[in-house]
Amino acid sequence: MIIIPAIDIKDGKCVRLAQGKFDRVTTYADNPVEMALTWMKKGAELIHIVDLDGSVAGLPRNANIILDIVGRIDVPVQVGGGIRDMETIRFYLNNGVSGVILGTTALQNEGTVRDACAEFPGKIILGIDALAGKVAVRGWTQTTEKNAVDLARHYEKFGIKAIVYTDIERDGMGTGINIKATKELAKAVNIPVIASGGVAGIADIDNLCAIEDCEIYGVIIGRALYTGAVSLEEAIRKSKEFC
């Protein structure tokens, strides 16, 4: 299991939201590029970046910062937020981004996901953000009646690289990963699952490593890294030894 530091960008700064709410924002760094360099130096194998402004606008808002990060670090970068069409997908993937995350698009435009998977095999990630098991879209500002597992199963045949599964209620709250829901999703599909939302401490890494019957590909950690509740080096060591 790989440990994936998160960099969420809003108004050009590195922030974390509580439960995805834009009125509950904490700024942790003024320079996301320096933050990415820090995580790289601490041993990160992959960095997860979200353009929060883009997720609401429906198009990239912090692409210049993201591409600056890509150009200055030697670690793969996966990007989400405001990626709704082939033009944006091509823009990122043709400029060094290793994978793009499609969330809103996956629910609203199946054709775009199909075309993206065909044109960029192994680089398209399905983002499923769930509130009480139901998928939310447009930067978590709109909820739907679509079940998270059903959406994941629908895209199994498309050649999706991985699924980032985020429990919105736990995201940024430090209340612990939703092990039950993450395991249910991982067991339901043959797509690698990346857990996200709520990592509180190193115990969450232990709990994910202890899951039986299925493998969790990775875990995204945000607030816990920024507050010091989790050491990136320790989390990586644990994941290498026990997962």
Domains of the chain, residue spans: 2-242
CATH topology of domain 2-242: TIM Barrel (3.20.20)
Residue 53 burial (CB count, 10 A): 19
The DSSP line for 12-24 is: TEEEEEETTEEEE
The pTM (predicted TM-score) of the whole model is 0.93
Burial class (CB in 10 A: 0-12, 13-18, 19+), 57: middle
pLDDT digits (tens, 9 = 90+) for 157-176: 999 999 999 887 666 566 78
> Is the pLDDT reported for residue 241 higher than 70?
yes
Whole-angstrom distance, CA of residue 204 vs CA of residue 183: 13
Helix (H) or strand (E) holding 50: strand 47-51
Maximum Cα interatomic distance, the chain, rounded to a whole number of Å:
42
For 189-210, what is each residue's pLDDT tens digit? 999 999 998 899 999 999 999 9
Residues identified as active-site: 8, 129
Per-residue pLDDT averaged across 43-48, rounded? 98
pLDDT mean across residues, the chain: 92
pLDDT of residue 23: 75
Q: Give the per-residue pLDDT at 17.
A: 84
Query: What pLDDT was estimated at residue 130?
Result: 85
